[in-house]
Amino acid sequence: MPKHLISIVDDDEPFREAMTSLMKSLGFEVETFSSAEAFLGSPCLGTTSCLIADVHMPTMTGIDLHRQLVASGRTIPVILITAYPDDNVRARALAAGVICYLSKTFDDDALLGFVRTALVQADPGESRS
Amino acid sequence: MSSPPSSDHGPDNSLEALWERVSQSAQGEIVSDQLVDALMRAAIEYAGAERGLLVLPRREEYWIEAEATTGSGAVSVSMRKARITAADLPESVLRYAARTKDSVLLHDALDANPFSADEYLRTHHPRSILCLPLLNQAGLIGMIYLENSLTSSALAPARIAVIKLLATEAAMSLENLHLYSDLEERDAKTRRIIDSALDAVLSINARGIVTEWNAQAETMFGWKRNEALGRSLSELFIPERYRDAHEKGLKHFLSTGEGPLLNRRIEITALRQDGSEFPVEVSIAPYQIDGNWEFSGFVRDITEKKAAEASTRRQREMEMELAHANRVATMGQLSASIAHEVNQPIGAAVTNAHAALRWLRATPPNLEEVHHALSRIVANGNRATDVLGRIRAFIKKAPPRKDSLDVNQAVLEVVDLTRSEAKKNKVAVQTQLADGLPVVQADRVQLQQVLLNLIINAIEAMSTSDAGSRRLLISSAASESDEVSVEVQDSGPGFPEASAGQLFQAFYTTKPAGLGMGLSICRSILEAHGGQLRATPGDPTGAIFTFTLPVRSNDAF
């Protein structure tokens, strides 16, 4: 069975590296992008099972990216992460349908839980651990 | 007219009647014109004169008070009240009588006499002349001049003594009347001055009853003079809640002679007739009349002054609030960007650590991945430190604004701002500001924030002390090393010597609701100005916070 592809969008390279390592340690395949635009223009758009996106990015924010995916009919589950959590942004993001809105100093078990939720949502027929 | 008056002239012109009138006038029962009228009629008729003048001193010279003339058998008296001219009487005769205080009697002025050269004698040709100086103990008080142009020796010498006596008596009465009217005139003048005063002027007696009330007082308080006189002052314009204090103060002064509010300007609240209250500045001075105390009061309406002060204060408060809000907003933005910049590497480090742990737990453990992850943690930790270093460098680069600052002025403004807070907490605030302090270059708002902080801290620190002993002293001084220092000294519980070092650390606080940022920010403000902020224990209790500012006009900081 092919591994699930987790795509990571963050303008901060050290964080992309850290997240790549963590996701790989959990057994996922990982692709990283330094901007929302780069992700939208890549072939991974069709193969990604879960998208982990930073909220604060210079041109297109993680929120906008999620909105655009929804608008274009894509059903990729989105996990938003941020270095500066804000309750209002969290409320709006959750209302718009993201899986979760996490601080960058997250707990890895919690993240894993959300990723699993995302994978179930992406492919309801499949159950894996 | 040559004969003395006889009984057919009626009782009214008798000597007895004249006496009666003169003595009545001495008791103030008839007015001067009636007295003069009676005197002149009696003198003319009794002496057998044809014309008579009463001459009295008025403002350093002699004036004709009245003139009596006879015509068609009747005497008429007019109140001339005019300066003497050469057409009225022989001036040389009058001058002689005035100088020698002797009567001059000329039986026939047409004969050669010492006054023959007098213009009046040469033009009017009077025959009999009598000029009587009227004297009392103090000297000359007036003169009577009588003449008869028809007959020589018309004036009966035997009666002169009696006329002189009567006239003297009458003149003394007149003098008293004049003194009285002078007094009234002076009184009226004083009244006019008082009424034209811009302040309300009033006086009360020892019982607190109003004895004077000028036009301004009428306008200011709404009570007319005749309504105010005779009423108790405290009913008129002292608000009910202060009446007790007013009456106690009055009694205290009368029994001890102490009046701490007397002879200086005080600000109080006054009441108008319509019940509205307004602020006034009052100065009250006690004085004694015949051994009884009276108090004069000058009252100024300071409603407008107060309003102006309040608006200046409000404006300053708003400026400070605005500056504070600006700083809070800046702080908010700054902390947001600091949080973002610092959280980024911290987030990466934490994520790397999670990854490293997972690589370690794998079977077999992937040590190469662990190694990479740990290396990235080190790099991210360093990145976080770099971010903080950049922020600090950025903050240091922003120089404080530099105003040419009069430290005392800045102190007084803040003291003014905190006055109500101090009052509310029953803290007595004193300032001791050195004269002639050099101007310093500093950010006014920041320095005033420091002062505000120190003063509010002090007031809060004293809230646990005895209400009677809460004292706050703010002093300024110039030190020898080109510094201006400001000291805020309170009488609160102070701080333990050991914690002196902690006072300025961020997040250190002794207040239940304190953030512990105030003193730390104060110190950094002072340091940014090239100055210092120190805390020392007070003696015997309390705390002393002292800050110093360098006196320099260059941009050394």
CATH, residue B260: 3.30.450.20
pLDDT of residue B414: 86
Q: Measured between beta carbons, which residues in chain A are less than 8 angstroms from residue B352?
A: 17-18, 21-22
Residue range of the domain that includes B319: 306-397
pLDDT of residue B226: 92
Within this chain, do residues B29 and B93 fall inside the same structural domain, yes or no?
yes
Which residues fall within 8 angstroms of residue B167, CB to CB, at 6 or more apart? B39, B43, B54, B132, B134, B142, B144
pLDDT of residue B56: 84
> What is the rounded CA–CA span in Å between residue A36 and residue A54?
9
pLDDT of residue B385: 87
Give per-residue burial for B143-179: e unless 16+ CB within 10 Å, then b: bbbbbbeeeeebbbeebbebbbebbbbbbbbbbebbe
- The mean pLDDT of B125-152, rounded to a whole number, is 85
Residue B187 lies in a domain: no
3-state secondary structure B327-359: HHHHHHHHHHHHHHHHHHHHHHHHHHHHHHHHH
Q: Where are the beta strands (DSSP E) in B353-492?
A: 403-405, 428-433, 440-442, 471-479, 483-490
Q: Measured between beta carbons, which residues in chain B are less than 8 angstroms from residue A24?
A: 355, 369
Within this chain, do residues B478 and B350 fall inside the same structural domain, yes or no?
no
pLDDT of residue A68: 93
Residue B18 pLDDT exceeds 70:
no
Residue B226 lies in a domain: yes
Say yes or no for a CB contact (<8 Å) between B348 and A22.
Answer: no
In B, minimum Cα distance to A57 occurs at: B340
Tokens of B313: 């204060």
* Other residues' Cβ atoms within 10 Å of the Cβ of residue A69: 22
Q: Measured between beta carbons, which residues in chain B are less than 8 angstroms from residue A21?
A: 351-352, 355-356, 359, 369, 372-373, 376
Residue B6 pLDDT exceeds 50:
no
Within this chain, do residues B331 and B294 fall inside the same structural domain, yes or no?
no
Backbone angles phi, psi at A68, to 5 degrees: -65, -40
Residues 12-41 of A with CB under 8 A from B: 12, 14-15, 17-19, 21-22, 24-26
Residue B191 lies in a domain: no
CA B517 vs. chain centroid, Å, equals: 45
Cβ pairs bridging A and B (under 8 Å): 82
Say yes or no for a CB contact (<8 Å) between B347 and A56.
Answer: no
Within this chain, do residues B31 and B144 fall inside the same structural domain, yes or no?
yes
Q: Choose the final residue of a domain: B281, B301, B321.
A: B301
Of residues A14, A84, A108, nearest to B339 (C-beta): A84
Task: Indicate the pLDDT class of residue B7, thresholds 50, 70 and 90.
Answer: very low
Within this chain, do residues B48 and B110 fall inside the same structural domain, yes or no?
yes
Say yes or no for a CB contact (<8 Å) between B345 and A25.
Answer: no
Say yes or no for a CB contact (<8 Å) between A104 and B350.
Answer: yes
Q: Nearest C-alpha of chain B: how many angstroms from A63?
A: 17
Report CA Rg, chain A.
13
Q: Measured between beta carbons, which residues in chain B are less than 8 angstroms from residue A28?
A: none
Q: How far apart are the first and last CA of chain B?
A: 112
Q: Measured between beta carbons, which residues in chain B are less than 8 angstroms from residue A12?
A: 344, 348
Within this chain, do residues B379 and B322 fall inside the same structural domain, yes or no?
yes
pLDDT of residue B394: 65
Backbone angles phi, psi at A9, to 5 degrees: -120, 115
DSSP state of B232: B
Residue B424 pLDDT exceeds 60:
yes
Number of domains in chain B: 4
Residue B71 lies in a domain: yes
pLDDT of residue B28: 53
Contact B208/B70 with Cβ under 8 angstroms?
Answer: no
- The mean pLDDT of B317-341, rounded to a whole number, is 69
Q: Nearest C-alpha of chain A: how many angstroms from B486?
A: 42
Say yes or no for a CB contact (<8 Å) between B379 and A14.
Answer: yes
Residue B441 pLDDT exceeds 50:
yes
pTM of the model: 0.42
Say yes or no for a CB contact (<8 Å) between B355 and A22.
Answer: yes
Of residues A15, A21, A106, nearest to B344 (C-beta): A15
> What is the rounded CA–CA span in Å between residue A48 and residue A44?
6
pLDDT in tens, B281-300: 998 888 888 888 889 889 99
pLDDT of residue B366: 95
Q: Measured between beta carbons, which residues in chain B are less than 8 angstroms from residue A14?
A: 344-345, 348, 376, 379-380, 383
Q: Measured between beta carbons, which residues in chain A are less than 8 angstroms from residue B343?
A: 83-84, 103-105
Q: What CATH number is attached to the domain comprising B337?
A: 1.10.287
In A, minimum Cα distance to B344 occurs at: A83
Residue B338 pLDDT exceeds 90:
no
Say yes or no for a CB contact (<8 Å) between B352 and A12.
Answer: no
Q: Choose the final residue of a domain: B301, B317, B349.
A: B301
Q: Choose the final residue of a domain: B381, B397, B413.
A: B397
pLDDT in tens, B385-412: 888 887 777 666 666 677 788 999 999 9
In A, minimum Cα distance to B336 occurs at: A84
pLDDT of residue A129: 43
Within this chain, do residues B19 and B66 fall inside the same structural domain, yes or no?
yes
> What is the rounded CA–CA span in Å between residue A95 and residue B137?
116
Structural element, H or E, at residue B497: none
Of residues B348, B356, B362, nearest to A14 (C-beta): B348
Say yes or no for a CB contact (<8 Å) between B362 and A108.
Answer: no
Range of weakest confidence among A20-24, B28-32, B51-55, B231-235: B28-32
Within this chain, do residues B17 and B160 fall inside the same structural domain, yes or no?
yes
Task: Indicate the pLDDT class of residue B145, thresholds 50, 70 and 90.
Answer: very high
Share of chain B above pLDDT 70, in %: 85
Q: What CATH number is attached to the domain comprising B13?
A: 3.30.450.40
Residue B178 pLDDT exceeds 50:
yes
Residue ranges in chain A whose pLDDT is less than 50: 1, 127-129
Residue B94 lies in a domain: yes
pLDDT in tens, B475-515: 999 987 789 999 999 988 888 776 766 677 655 565 555 55
Within this chain, do residues B221 and B265 fall inside the same structural domain, yes or no?
yes
Residue B203 pLDDT exceeds 50:
yes
Q: Measured between beta carbons, which residues in chain B are less than 8 angstroms from residue A6?
A: none
Q: Within an 8 Å CB–CB cutoff, is residue A106 touching chain B?
A: yes
Q: What CATH number is attached to the domain comprising B418?
A: 3.30.565.10
Residue B189 lies in a domain: no
Within this chain, do residues B526 and B417 fall inside the same structural domain, yes or no?
yes
Residue B334 pLDDT exceeds 70:
no
In B, minimum Cα distance to A102 occurs at: B347
- The mean pLDDT of B137-148, rounded to a whole number, is 84
Residue B469 lies in a domain: yes
Q: Nearest C-alpha of chain B: how many angstroms from A73?
A: 31
Residue B23 pLDDT exceeds 70:
no
pLDDT of residue B26: 53
Task: Indicate the pLDDT class of residue B3, thresholds 50, 70 and 90.
Answer: very low
pLDDT of residue A114: 95
Contact B104/B131 with Cβ under 8 angstroms?
Answer: yes
Within this chain, do residues B279 and B314 fall inside the same structural domain, yes or no?
no
Q: Measured between beta carbons, which residues in chain B are less than 8 angstroms from residue A84?
A: 336, 339-340, 343
Q: What is the DSSP string of chain A?
A: -PPPEEEEE-S-HHHHHHHHHHHHHTT-EEEEESSHHHHHTSGGGGTEEEEEEES--SSS-HHHHHHHHHHTT----EEEEESS--HHHHHHHHHHT-SEEEESS--HHHHHHHHHHHHHHH-TT----
* Other residues' Cβ atoms within 10 Å of the Cβ of residue A82: 24
Within this chain, do residues B287 and B374 fall inside the same structural domain, yes or no?
no
Interface test with B, best of A12, A20, A21, A114 (most B CBs within 10 A): A21
Residue B30 pLDDT exceeds 60:
no
Q: Could you give all domains of chain A from N- to C-terminal order, each with its CATH number?
A: 5-122 (3.40.50.2300)
pLDDT in tens, B67-100: 999 887 788 888 888 889 889 999 999 999 989 9
Residue B391 lies in a domain: yes
Task: Indicate the pLDDT class of residue B8, thresholds 50, 70 and 90.
Answer: very low
